[in-house]
Every structure is written in C-alpha cells, then in structure tokens.
Structure 1
Amino acid sequence: MRIDKYLWCVRYYKTRNMVTEACKKNHITVNGQVAKPSKEVFPTDKITFRKDQITQIITVLDIPESRVGAKLVDIYRKNETPAEAYAHLELLKLSKEHYRKTGTGRPTKKDRRDIDEYGNDIIEEEETE
C-alpha cells in the first residue's frame, strides 16, 4: 500500500492530500529514507513523521483494506513514540495558557508592563551570573 494511503487509513492525517503535501516537504521517512507519496509500505516498516510538534514513530504491523475506525487502528500499527514527546506537548499547551487564557483579547497596559518587567528580570539574572 502507498504511504499516503496508509497514513490516511490509520487516521494520522485527515485527507490523503495532507499526507501528499507532507511527503513533498520531506517530512515523512520510511526506514530512514525520505518517502514520496507513492512509496510502498510493508509490515515491519518503520515510519517517522512530525505532526503537531511531535515526532511520531510508528511500525507497520499490517496493511488495512481501507480506512479503519479509530478503535481498530492499533491492529495495523505500533506506536513507538516516546512518552516524553507527549509530555512535552502538554507542557507547551500549559505554558501558552499560563499567563492569559486564549480569547481574552489584547493585553491591557498593566499586562504589558508586567510582561516587560518579567523580561527585564530575566535579563538582569543572566547578567549577574
């Protein structure tokens, strides 16, 4: 099965066109080699790609006939992505929402002063070290 069709079938990408674009940008590798969308994948192949700021590593266990349900995906692939990658993604999400919640609008003057003060504190700490 083609790599673009496989990644679409096991629900890593929403459309085959998205997989094709990722292949054209050299974001997907099969067994350490950059893959074109038409690259054939076989069981035991190791696929590496970057999606949502995580480098995903999967091993092909079997080839599906067509797109499978979310509950059946584990039959066709083995996810070997380290747990630290998912923990790092959670940290990124939390750090973005730590100071201001999404959708609260532009910072006020007081918020702006606090942000500037925080940046100055970091610079002063680096200079003293």
Structure 2
Amino acid sequence: MPEKDKLRIDKYLWAIRIFKTRTLAADACKAGRVKLDGNNTKPSHEVKIGEVYTVSKGPEKRVIKITGLLENRVDAKTAVNFYEDITPVEQTTAFKSMFHAPVLTRDRGAGRPTKRDRREIDDLKDDFFN
C-alpha cells in the first residue's frame, strides 16, 4: 500500500471510501460539505495526519480523524485503518432512526380515501413530522 507525504483531501476521501468517486469528493469540498475546524476546504487542500474533518453527505454527518495517508483506493477493511470515525453517538443514532419511521399504508381494495380519511391522514403526518 503506497503512502505519500502530501495528499489532496478529495483524493483521500475517495481512497478511504467516504465518496464513490473523486469527482463527488471534489464537488463536496467545493460545496462546503467538507470542513476542517469549522472552515470550508478546497479540493486541493493537503491532508495531514491528526487533522479532524467534518464530512456531510446527505443527511449523514461524519467526523473523521486522519491516522494515515492513503493514495490509492483499497478495500473497505483496509481503508478503515487509515482514519478514525469520531462521530458523536447521538448523531449516528439520529441518522439511523430516520429509517425506522412508521409507514402509512391503506388496505388493498379499500378504494380512494374519502375527504374525512384524507384529513385524518394529513393530521397524522403533521403530528409525526413536526
């Protein structure tokens, strides 16, 4: 596994499998979704061991600490050795709980909802999502 002294942040995030492509990593940096000490980073920013980055990817936010530099993309088991995920537990559980929301369904063959049914459904949705 080749290691370098200097490495761009977009290439590093791609190599440790945070982003699927290097272009997506560069676009995230340009959009301000990759931060170092609360400041936006450019895709050409050089990564140093010990730095802590906050990476936002959709609704998920991850805080990673650099433990090693990795130039080329490797398998997931190896990539985990080059960073430490220090995301607070409450952030991870909040992201995962989004997928356990109840799903509103109607019985098959029940027909279209009446005006009254529609109002009840809207009230349920408003109570749950607000």
Q: TM-score range by the shorter chain?
A: 0.7 to 0.9
Q: 1:109 aligns with which of 107, 112, 126?
A: 112
The TM-score normalised by the length of structure 1 is 0.77
Q: 1:56 aligns with which of 45, 51, 62?
A: 62
Which residue does 1:99 correspond to in 2?
A: 104
Which residue does 2:3 correspond to in 1?
A: none
* Percent identity of equivalent pairs: 30
Matched length: 116
Which residue does 1:9 correspond to in 2?
A: 15
Change (3 A) 1:62 1:122: closer
User: Cα distance, 1:66 vs. partner?
Assistant: 1.2
Q: Deviations over 1:45-82 (max 9, x none)?
A: 11111113121100000101311210012210000112
Q: 1:79 aligns with which of 75, 82, 85?
A: 85
Change (3 A) 1:11 1:120: closer
The TM-score normalised by the length of structure 2 is 0.77
Find the aligned partners of 1:63 and 1:112 in 2 and give their Cα distance. Answer: 60
Larger helix fraction of residues: 1
Gaps of 5+ in 1: 101-107, 124-129
User: Cα distance, 1:33 vs. partner?
Assistant: 2.0
Change (3 A) 1:99 1:3: same
Find the aligned partners of 1:79 and 1:111 in 2 and give their Cα distance. Answer: 50
Find the aligned partners of 2:47 and 2:94 in 1 and give their Cα distance. Answer: 29
- More moved, 28-37 vs 39-48: 28-37
